[in-house]
Amino acid sequence: MVPIAFGIFDHLERRDAPLDRIYQGRFELGEDADRAGFFCYHVAEHHATPLGMAPSPGVFLAALAQRTKRLHVGPLVYLLPLYTPLRLVQEICMIDQMSGGRLEVGVGRGVSPFELAYYRVPFMESREMFEEALEVIVAGLRNRRLNHRGNYYRYDGVPVELEPYQKPNPPIWYGAATPESVAFAAAHGMNVVGNGTNAMLRRSTEQYREELAKHKGGANDLNPQIEEPRRGAIRHIYVAADEREVETIAKPAYRAYYDNITKLWRDFYTTPTHGFTPDLELAQRHEVAIAGTHNEVTDLVGRFFEESGCNYLVLSFAWGNLPQAASRGSLERFITKVMPHFPSNRSAGGLPNGR
């Protein structure tokens, strides 16, 4: 059984600070996480919105990999319809090599039709584009010459001079929020990250295990080198020094996060269908956010692992308009006062092939 582990998730939102300082602040968080034993730093990809200041996640992750030693890094997710697959194959190889085999590759089609539309990508075709692009990328990572003829991409005997550090390819991840997406992830042996209440996650993980047992090791297994994929979920978190900080720091910052994540939808006079709320208390009741003192957070994290069936908890420490000092203080309290209650195997999911 894979031991439990903690990761970090980051939208890299814009706030009232110079952009270069935002990047440097995130590198500091990554360095702290590296020393503490977090498994991976996952970065989202968003466009044309203050939600995402890492529209090219590979650039940020390549820099973060040079500032850390053991922390894995990865997009969650690369929006595949926005890439030329051959070029992305080469980027993945470069980052995996430069990090010494610490790249974790999340893939998806994108949930915002507005972001895709700015790139002239039809949302109704994005699912087919995603699946074909994924097929091309896996072939490019596993072979020295790329051949593919499909509806959207064509490659005729293209030499692939680069190769990934991890064989046959870096671990591939998928965000799964529906029974259909859970089934897709399991059928392809992908590590999976979801959201929702602990009870919802329990149903998803049970479905995932059942489907994985049918398909693991088959022709479509994208992670044949991984015996038991990770099953995780994302939670926004704030570990407060005292109860007052939840009211004065965390609650206003969560409203700023809501404004960021819904901005494009509101720009087009609509609302997202993903159930976002500006109310931190409501988000906590729905178990998508954790805020409180270290004792309260320890209890909530324990309940997550007991009730969800997940073996991986991906936490967002920097969100909305949280100042750098607040994010770093929250992370420091989590590391020193919460993590010791949840011992995990640091090497689990570590460097492949004994390296």
**In the numeric block, which tokens belong to residue 68?**
């850390």
pTM over 0.85: yes
Contact 51, 263 (CB under 8 A): yes
Q: How far apart are CA 233 and CA 183, in angstroms?
A: 16
Contact 197, 307 (CB under 8 A): no
Phi-psi region of 269 (alpha: psi -120 to 50; beta: other; left: phi over 0): left
**Residue 273 has what pLDDT?**
64
Of 32, 27, 35, 31, give the one whose Cα is nearest residue 54: 27
Cα distances (Å, whole numbers) of residue 35 to 21, 67, 70, 216, 336: 21, 11, 8, 33, 12
Q: Which residues contact 275 (CB under 8 A, 6 or more apart)?
A: 286
DSSP state for residue 246 in the 8-state scheme: I
**Residue 91 has what pLDDT?**
98
186: pLDDT confidence band, cut at 50, 70 and 90? very high
* Maximal CA-CA distance, the chain: 62
Mean pLDDT of 231-248: 97
State pLDDT tens for residues 135-144.
999 999 999 9
Asked if the model's pLDDT at residue 349 lies above 80, the reply is: no
91 phi and psi, to 5 degrees? -65, -45
Which residue type is seen at 176? Answer: A
Q: Which residues contact 46 (CB under 8 A, 6 or more apart)?
A: 11, 52, 55, 112, 115
Q: How far apart are CA 51 and CA 252, in angstroms?
A: 16
Asked if the model's pLDDT at residue 109 lies above 80, the reply is: yes
Of 3, 2, 26, give the one whose Cα is nearest residue 316: 26
Asked if the model's pLDDT at residue 56 lies above 50, the reply is: yes
Q: How far apart are CA 350 and CA 355, in angstroms?
A: 9
Q: How far apart are CA 225 and CA 311, in angstroms?
A: 18
What are the residue boundaries of the structural domains of the chain, listed by start? 5-348
Mean pLDDT of 22-34: 98
> Hey, what CATH topology would domain 5-348 get?
TIM Barrel (3.20.20)
Please tell me whether residue 238 adopts helix, strand or coil conformation. strand
Mean pLDDT of the chain: 94
- Higher-confidence residue of 352 and 101: namely 101
Q: How far apart are CA 103 and CA 125, in angstroms?
A: 28
**Residue 2 has what pLDDT?**
74
80: pLDDT confidence band, cut at 50, 70 and 90? very high
**Residue 177 has what pLDDT?**
85
State pLDDT tens for residues 144-164.
999 999 999 999 999 999 999
State pLDDT tens for residues 281-334.
999 999 999 999 999 999 999 999 999 999 999 999 999 999 999 999 999 999
Contact 87, 153 (CB under 8 A): no
19: pLDDT confidence band, cut at 50, 70 and 90? very high
**Residue 272 has what pLDDT?**
76
Q: How far apart are CA 251 and CA 237, in angstroms?
A: 11
